[in-house]
Amino acid sequence: MSEQDKQILAQNKPINELSRRVSSLEQKIVPLEKAIEPQGWISQAFEKVEEHLSELDTKIDHLRQDTHYRFDQLDGKLEVILQHITKISDLPEE
């Protein structure tokens, strides 16, 4: 084997090592790309969280409306009770 062939082989070793490392990195990047892309599992997880939060907002709005309705009913009932107890409705008008 000539000296030039030995030099070429010596140069090929680090090049081949770098090539293997690049190939390994490319294989590791593929799953990450699939996870991050618009329809990947990370995007899907964010969509699920967004749906869940939207459902919770709707439930909270319904509870708030129901609470206002019930307080209005209670206020009306308390008004009737107070009128009955205090006989305010029986006050002379003239």
- Token pair of 85 as six digits: 């107890």
Alpha helices by DSSP H, 1-94: 3-36, 41-86
Interatomic CA distance for residues 89 and 94, integer angstroms: 13
pLDDT in tens, 46-89: 889 999 999 999 999 999 999 999 999 999 999 888 888 887 66
**Neighbour-count burial for 22-60, b at 16+ CB within 10 Å, e otherwise:** eeeeeeeeeeeeeeeeeeeeeeeeeeeeeeeeeeeeeee
Residue given tokens 């997880």 in the structure block? 45
pLDDT in tens, 1-15: 788 877 887 888 888
